[in-house]
Amino acid sequence: MKPEEVIIPDEALSERFLAATGPGGQNVNKVATACQLRVDVFKLGLPLHAYERLKTIAGSRMTTGGELIITARRFRTQEANREDARQRLAEMISEAHLVQRKRKPTRPSRAAKAKRVDEKKGRSAIKAARGRVRLD
């Protein structure tokens, strides 16, 4: 699923604008341009595998109440930061929908084991030959 295809219901979102840090001069002190997007993950209606993966991807941005918090303060305008936050949310949701293939456990072949033991014996012989020089 591509980030453009992700549909996020408006009732799952709530936005707050905060005073941002970084570039912007005196404007930073006057205007609340950073966007804090809060998403109720349960209202998204995700399948179980996508919900579990989203929890992993979100990490500390996910609260115990099932709320995902994304703070965008990269740009100088509210609208750009709002768009950035929504874009990042869409990317996270689309990444959560990807199903990872199960890893098949493998074992080394008998020939590979024998080769490894032979190499170890060879190294051992080289190291054993490094002993003290005795003048008899």
Q: Identify the pLDDT of residue 106.
A: 94
Number of residues in the chain: 136
Q: Identify the pLDDT of residue 121.
A: 97
The predicted-structure confidence for 21-48, as pLDDT tens digits, reads as follows 766 667 667 778 888 889 988 888 888 8
pTM for the whole structure:
0.66
Give me the residue label for tokens 């404007």: 27
Q: 119: buried, middle or exposed (CB in 10 Å: 19+, 13-18, 0-12)?
A: exposed
Judge whether residue 108 has pLDDT over 90: yes
Could you tell me the residue ranges of all domains in the chain? 3-97
For range 10-27, the mean pLDDT: 76
3-state helix, strand, coil in the chain (%, to 5): 50, 15, 35
| CATH class of the structural domain 3-97 | alpha beta
Question: Angle at Cα 44 formed by Cα 40 and Cα 49, nearest 5°?
Answer: 110
